[in-house]
Amino acid sequence: MLVWWLWEQLDAWSALIFIVVLLLVSDYLKNRDGKNFPPSPIWVPFVGDLFSMTSDQPHQYMAKLKEKYGDIYSLRLGGSKTVIVNGYKLAREALLTQGYALTGRPQPAIYERIYKKPGIGLSNGYTWKEHKRFVLTTLRNFGVGKKSLESIIMEEVKFFVEAFEEERGQPFNPHYMINNAVSNIICLIVLGHRFEYSDSHYQEIQHLMNKGAYLEGSWWTWAYNAFPGLMRYLPGGHNELFSSYGKVMDFLREEIRNHKKDLDPTSPRDFIDAYLKEMEKRKNDPAAEFNDDTLCSNTFDLFVAGGETTATTLRWALLFMAQNPHIQEKVQAEIDSVLGQTRLPSMEDKINLPYTEAVVHEVQRKADIVPVNLLKMTTEDMTIGGYLIPKDTAILINLSSVLNDKDEWETPDTFNPGHFLTPDGKFRRREAFMPFSAGKRPCLGEPLARIELFLFFTCLLKKFTFRAPEGTSLTLDAITGFTRAPLPHKICAIPRGQTA
């Protein structure tokens, strides 16, 4: 009644000022920090910290805030707050010590446009638990974590090496060749077939995946999540994201339709067949969400987890070898001493290749492929770093700050395989090595990625020496979206024994 009485006493300009002040006060009261909540920068009413975000390197903006506010602080992006956790100590506390309270996923508006139904990466509760069980079991059934997967990977490696040999040591861009080779492994598991490196349609799908991965981590995504009602009517990179990922989804739906035509439920050929069989089995359990839309979403998630990130890591690996010829030579000497001149590697060789294994791990650490990871959400009240984080709060673990933590790594700014070696040259694991995240919801593609990275990298270094094209230099600058990828470049793959 008081507000209405005041309204009747005002003229037009005064009324406008009154409305603005009322909205500002309302915005402040709604978004003020709760008791013992992580500190935050001074935010602009209604938009929060959105326009302070660095458009192409959000993890660097977060690193600057870490210097001022410490390892835990909060950001307001539009109308919601996100807690940012930095450094190994607090990441471990959040993901491992209290991981039971951090199994939720918020549902950002951007993904509601991309997915009709969330897949394994974004689902929650009963749906997530049932899909996690099914996905892990099915991947194991089709070889992930088993010796049989090695033969599948090594068969692809042969095609891959032959494609590199055809370049005859001349400069070439390995980007889509690597993407195609790595994604063929997940294609065989999920779709039941691979794609030739000359397949122009599949090359376009790879291009769309790469473009989407960049845009997914851009400022446009933050803006869309903050103001979806407004952004859906505005031009910008978010529309390119929807277009790129939409075409990838159409490609996967076509694969699913083809599988339905000749499905034999008694003999599933791949993940899609197994899922279609499970859909029939779960038709009386609608809460589990086994349907066409979640099948498409899960297939998409597996493509990202099992293809995009691993391929990007391998691209970085070749760059690091070209930039560090002394390290490359040491890897090759170890491979030669263990495998000889003709034998190809197997996972059993890993224990006898500690330096090679250390280099693979250092590539993952220094490449920093997924700097900020997917958002998580608290499923109950929890305390991190002495701060109270209420239930249903979004939390972002800054993985880049963990992989570059000066308190955990001796030379975090340098490519140093010694981070993963004991003084006597044996491989050692490091708790702060979290490129796949950790806890209750790590990357489901981790077991597959570990095998792929070791076998692909070892075979490539056995067969080739990588160098910058004559008269040029290679840069380690990156383009950062959801993944952090090398800038477009050419490299020379010199067959071992051939002079440059």
Map residue 356 onto helix, strand or coil. helix
Determine the average pLDDT of the residues in 89-117: 92
pLDDT-above-90 percentage for the chain: 68
Structure tokens at 254: 């076509």
- List, as one string, the DSSP characters of 181-205: HHHHHHHHHHTS----TT-HHHHHH
How is residue 32 annotated by DSSP?
S
113 contacts 220 by C-beta, under 8 angstroms: no
Map residue 329 onto helix, strand or coil. helix
Q: Which one, of 159, 164, 153, 197, lies nearest residue 464 by Cα? A: 164
C-alpha span between 490 and 470 (Å, rounded) = 11
Q: Which residue has the higher pLDDT, 480 or 314?
A: 314
> Strands, E, within 236-368: which ranges?
none
Q: How much is the pTM?
A: 0.91
φ and ψ of 107, to 5 deg: -115, 80
By the 10 Å C-beta count (0-12 exposed, 13-18 middle, 19+ buried), 280 is classed as exposed
Q: Which one, of 378, 357, 346, lies nearest residue 459 by Cα? A: 346
DSSP lists the bridge partners of residue 491 as 172
Taking the CA of residue 404 as centre, how many other CA atoms within 13 Å lie in the half-sphere pointing to its CB? Answer: 19
What CATH number was assigned to the domain covering residues 33-495?
A: 1.10.630.10
C-alpha span between 337 and 8 (Å, rounded) = 89
pLDDT value at 55 more than 90: no
pLDDT given at position 29: 47
**Confidence band of 197 (pLDDT split at 50, 70, 90):** very high
Structure tokens at 275: 């899922």
- Taking only the tens place, the pLDDT of each residue in 79-100 is 678 999 999 999 999 999 998 9
Q: How far is CA 146 from CA 135, 157, 190, in A?
A: 15, 18, 16
Helix orientation angle between 325-339 and 446-463, rounded to the nearest 10 degrees: 90
Residue type for position 198: S
> Strands, E, within 45-98: which ranges?
72-77, 80-85
Q: How far is CA 30 from CA 72, 80, 82, 156, 481, in A?
A: 21, 10, 15, 55, 31
- Taking only the tens place, the pLDDT of each residue in 227-265 is 888 889 999 999 999 999 999 999 999 999 999 999 998
**Confidence band of 76 (pLDDT split at 50, 70, 90):** confident
The domain segmentation of the chain, as residue ranges, is: 33-495
For tokens 């302070």, the residue is: 52
202 contacts 465 by C-beta, under 8 angstroms: no
pLDDT-above-70 percentage for the chain: 89
The dihedral formed by the CA atoms of 182, 187, 189 and 191, expressed in degrees to the nearest 10: 180
Q: Which helix (H) or strand (E) holds 231?
A: helix 228-231
Determine the average pLDDT of the residues in 418-433: 96
Q: Which positions ≥6 away from 429 have C-beta within 8 Å?
A: 420
Map residue 159 onto helix, strand or coil. helix
